[in-house]
Amino acid sequence: MTDRYLTKAELLSIPETDLPLLVLSDNPYSFFAWGIRVHEKGYYNHLMWMHKPGILASQDGIFREAPLKKYLGHRLKFWTNETWTALQKAAIKETIQIDLNRFWLWRLYDPVAIIGQWTGCESIQIPGLDICSDKGKYIKKADRIFDLKRPSPKDVNSWLEEAEQYLRGYRVWARYVPD
């Protein structure tokens, strides 16, 4: 784990060379976010990828790019893997971009999967649609051992923490806490 906390200026100036970064978010002002944290007994309620400087790929109502500035009121935790090669990083970013370019209907948030998450039946889903934490799947482009299916943000965070303990190159790159 890292004790590196970014300032707003540092956050907004993360260079391309440090990307992609998996980003876990906690919105302290959202009732929906609070519900996810309580249900999952975790600290984060949303998963995104910073794949371009100042730009996040985020599965909100639709999977799309969002400016990092939109999340300056959230607690953020940035994960990286020090062993990823330039080719592996490029594969992750390319796959994110391919998904961002899909027809809008196939980028919609899967509301049925939320029912599955809440009831413990993660297999309840609309085929082809995702929830935010399903986007953890991009890790598999660089690390074949990633095996989570229909995870929550807490599940992805736990997987990364365990992988970090086994010296697989994963580490918390930085954190951000709003003023």
In this prediction, residue 96 carries a pLDDT of 98
- b/e sequence 6-26, b meaning 16+ C-beta within 10 Å: beeeebeebeeeebbbbbbbb
Which CATH code for domain 8-176? 3.90.1720.10
At position 17, the amino acid (one-letter code) is T
Instruction: Identify the residue with better confidence: 28 or 127.
Output: 127
Q: In whole angstroms, how large is the CA radius of gyration of the chain? A: 15
In this prediction, residue 31 carries a pLDDT of 43
| pLDDT tens digits, 132-163 | 888 999 999 999 999 998 888 889 999 999 98
Compute the CA torsion angle 145, 146, 147, 151 (nearest 10 deg): 160
Whole-prediction pTM: 0.88
| DSSP type of residue 102 | S
Residue 19 contacts residue 47 (beta carbons within 8 Å): no
Instruction: Identify the residue with better confidence: 165 or 135.
Output: 135
| pLDDT tens digits, 91-140 | 999 999 999 999 999 999 887 777 776 677 767 777 888 888 889 999 99
Which residues, 6+ apart, have CB-to-CB distance to 168 below 8 Å?
81, 83, 143, 145
